Amino acid sequence: MTLISMLLALIIERLAVRSDAWQAHRYVRAYLTFSLKTPLAGLARHQLGQYLWLLLPGTIVALLLGLIDNRLLSLIVNTLVLLVGIGCWHYRQLYKQYLNAQERGDGEAAYLVMQQIRTESGSSIEQNSYGQTLIWLNFRYYAATVFWFLLLGVFGVITYVLVRQLQEPRTLVDNTAAADSEQTAADYSKLQTDTDGPDAVYYMTFWAQWFPTRLFGLGFALVGYFSRASNALLAYFMDFTTDNEQVLTEVALAAEPQEEEQLNTLDESSAMVQLGKRNMLFFLALAAILTLSGWLY
């Protein structure tokens, strides 16, 4: 069931998902607005209550599925939730714009599109090459989301996607819907007004990506330049402080080495995207083997 849902979601996302209804940021905004109008606002403002507020949507959906206990319904809900979780049509369109700019030799347009991707996705390392930025985006939307789906089902997907989107500036500020974005940003600001201490969103995102980063880094080593990538990965394997984006992108660049003059070119970007695709195919094959052997249901 898990494997079927995953394959269906990945296929449909590539072929049929276009509208805003299949993008997670829409539902995160709705949750923010709803919370502000209910007692959930008090929970979100509390230092420890933040964690419960973030876990609540996934818990409710998982409990309802468990109580109903219908395989067909579970298959449908699992597929739909994962489809929304991996939905990144906006970034795929920006990537096409980037490719078009590179193909016609318009370096300035390519730079502006890539800066837009970095800004809207909340990329924290500006010195990353274009290819590294794309592979990190691929990880956030596909690899990490699928990982939590395989591990914890709909609960894992909903919780991970919620914290992921709350760290994306685009979730709160979308230039295509300015009025709605201003209200969403205001709602989130109100929810955070009385919060003291560490930010639950930051910590949950960091730890939700810590192990998947190393796991998929290992995948890069297996499908790329093993010796360089494995050495880069070992340097960060038990590191609990370095930004996960830095870890993954450095391992990816080691797995697919590029000459200095190739960085930020179409060849480098294409090589990194292909590396990410090979890695995903490797883990999909691994998931299929685990399902057939009874380790996954």
88-to-20, 26, 177 alpha-carbon distances in Å: 10, 12, 17
Q: What is the pLDDT of residue 197?
A: 43
Block residue for tokens 């997907």: 157
- Residue 138 buriedness (CB in 10 A; 0-12 / 13-18 / 19+): buried
Rounded Cα distance, 89 and 74, in Å? 25
The average pLDDT across 62-90 equals 95
Nearest of 52, 248, 240, 64 to residue 159 by alpha carbon: 52
Q: 3-class DSSP state for residue 246?
A: helix
Q: For residue range 134-191, what is the model confidence (pLDDT) as tens digits?
A: 999 999 999 999 999 999 999 999 999 999 999 998 887 665 554 555 566 666 666 6
233-to-44, 125, 236, 257 alpha-carbon distances in Å: 36, 18, 5, 14
Rounded Cα distance, 289 and 274, in Å? 23
Mean pLDDT of the chain: 90
Using the predicted structure, report yes or no on whether residue 262 has a pLDDT greater than 70: yes
What values do phi and psi take at 270, rounded to 5? -65, -40
Q: What is the pLDDT of residue 5?
A: 93
Using the predicted structure, report yes or no on whether residue 41 has a pLDDT greater than 80: yes
Q: What is the pLDDT of residue 125?
A: 87
Q: What is the pLDDT of residue 19?
A: 80
